[in-house]
Amino acid sequence: MPRASLSTTITRFLRYMATERNASDLTIKAYREDLIGFAQWIGGSDDVGTSVDALTPSHLRQFQSALQQADYAKSTISRKLASLRSFFKFAMREGATKTNPAKPLRNPRQNRKLPLVLSDCEIGRLLTAPSAHDPAGLRDRAILETMYSAGLRVSELVGLRDGDLDFSQGITRVRGKGRKERISPLGSYAIEAIRTYAARRTRSAKAEMLGQAAPVFVNRFGNILTTRSVGRMLDKYIAAAELDTRTSPHTLRHSFATHLLDRGADIRSVQELLGHKSLTTTQIYTHVSAVNLRAIYEQAHPRAQ
């Protein structure tokens, strides 16, 4: 039986992720870049050749070392190692190799930075920055209100369809990472903003033609927004509200989670609302919340300093 080549197995793995695991286009793109980069490195590093079963943990440790010497960010190295782990698990199931050489690898220790969080006052300035007198401003205000109200990722926001909204229950269906669905709350401000915007929204001709539910947020031509266009829109209002220039669309999600914890929400509920698979991912916000509480204490308590 011929030995499975690395390039052929990578192609099969990417096809498997797209068709059977229903991975997103961005996930497929990241896997492709990581695995092809590894294949190019291993092809020029020693005499392994192109066979999957010829690879050993030593080869992968050398690859990790090469990434570190090239000054890749620790988060990037961790992602590339995760891609290799997933790939070799697939290769074992397919019989391309009998062992998983990526299994012994350990991710580099991360220097976790606390995410930027906006104060209540800053959130208020940002949400009221768009004009309330023209269609673009009404749309942008609805976008910002919805992102903060439900703690959405930008990709989740642009993927919302009219059928996902349930104003009577104050909820929306959200499609998160890995196409996993969850239910997120919508506050009264977000519901009012969406309704006001929807009354003057340009209809999606493409969606109507295909008989699909219309996207909630569209551009002036009635087409679905891109994540990049939302980022550009936000930059304009960040400047108008005179906020920290590091503020990004994800800052609204960080602020959503931190404000909930500050006001007594339990971490398991916040994990569910954010759609985090692991509680460890959510725990970063407990550190942010503690920092905020310490600042309030030092400002308010007469014998804090």
Is 22 buried (19+), middle (13-18) or exposed (0-12) by CB count in 10 A? exposed
Tell me if 236 sits within 8 A of 143, measured CB to CB. no
Q: Give the pLDDT confidence score for residue 1 in this predicted structure.
A: 47
Domains of the chain: 6-93 (1.10.150), 120-300 (1.10.443.10)
Half-sphere exposure of 256 (CA within 13 A, CB side): 27
Radius of gyration, CA atoms only, the chain:
23
Q: Give the pLDDT confidence score for residue 300 in this predicted structure.
A: 63
Three-state DSSP state, 94: coil
Q: Give the pLDDT confidence score for residue 46 in this predicted structure.
A: 44
Whole-model pTM over 0.85: no
Quote the CA–CA distance of 38 and 126 in Å, as a whole number: 43
**Per-residue pLDDT tens listing for the chain (305 residues):** 457 788 899 999 999 999 988 888 888 999 999 999 999 898 854 444 568 888 999 999 999 999 999 988 888 999 999 999 999 999 999 999 988 898 888 888 766 677 888 999 999 999 999 999 899 999 999 999 999 999 999 999 999 999 999 999 999 999 988 778 999 989 999 999 999 999 888 765 555 544 567 889 999 888 889 999 999 999 999 999 999 999 999 999 999 988 988 888 888 888 888 988 888 778 787 776 666 666 655 666 565 55
Quote the CA–CA distance of 114 and 288 in Å, as a whole number: 6
Tell me if 214 sits within 8 A of 207, measured CB to CB. yes
The catalytic residue positions are 153, 177, 250, 253, 276, 285
Q: 296: closest CA among 267, 269, 258, 270?
A: 258
